[in-house]
Structure 1
Amino acid sequence: MGVGEDRYPGFRDFVSARGPALSRAAYLLTGDHHAAEDLVQSALARVLRHWRKVRDGDPEGYVRRTMYHLQMSWWRRRRVPERLAAAPPDRGGPDPHRTIALRMTLDQALDGLSPRQRAVLVLRFYEDMTEAQAAAMLGCSVGTVKRHTHDALSRLRTTAPHLVDEDRPAPAERAVRGRS
């Protein structure tokens, strides 16, 4: 192979095109940006070894499966073994009744949104799409996406104000701020 020849044709383009989506999935798996970066890099390093076989099939699916398997392995290694004590610890866990009530309140608040508003929130804040991408996905204008986002967040603040911690922005607002 001469200088400048690509030993892994298409790999660089694949990583450039699908890297952001893989990073988002890794973040959802790990809950930590640094751990997500490590997970994506480790998965890509493993996939690179088999690139010639993988590239013509479903390389993204292969990377995602590798990420899931790696995360599970890392989680198992980090897991602290349970220790038995003579007396139970004095600390209490989260109140399961409060957690259930919170989930039910959130479900009811989301049910109060129109299907378009709910779709816009999922695309914008869960799928991490830009306004333009969400508009293209829904077949509407960017202005419509902005309007649905504004209306949906306003409605959530009105119907479930106790879900928003006044000291912190709402999760959707944190997602928007985190992207800028």
Structure 2
Amino acid sequence: MKTKEQQEAEFRSFAVAQRESLRRYAYLLCGDWYEADDIVQKSLTKMFAAWKRVEPGGAPAYVRKIVTNVYISHRRLSWVRRERTSAELPTRQLDRPQEEVDVRLEVVAALERLPARQRATLVLRYWEQLSVDETATAMGCSTGTVKSQSSKGLRKLKELLTESAVLARA
């Protein structure tokens, strides 16, 4: 049996190894680096509380599920949302010579406009490249829900990107 100090050391090395990956994943979900840091911190805190019960091989998938759940909870809490609704989206011109950077920014902006579950599904499936089953496990839902959320999310993302003319450039 491992001592408390050994468990803490194992968790510390796990957290250091996973933090940047989790931060990027959380950013893709929420679109804000500061909120991503908050999500990762809360997730690692929850992970530490469950560390004794987690199998080492399943820890990365388990913590990704926690990040997904914390993100969705953040979206449900009205006080966490700092966005203001508006009838029109702000338009800004990016002065960047690299068109690929502009396209990537537009895709991230379009992702931000999707509902939380659709966004989480798309990021898990197509950014993290998880299978339908793995995504369902990470989100704590059925494979049918993953498929329907993927379908709806991709359709909405296509609409949003067509409006911004990203698809015309691709």
TM norm structure 2: 0.47
Higher CA-based Rg: 1
Question: Relative contact order (alpha carbons < 8 A, sep ≥ 6): 1 or 2 greater?
Answer: 2
TM norm structure 1: 0.44
* Structure with greater helix share of residues: 2
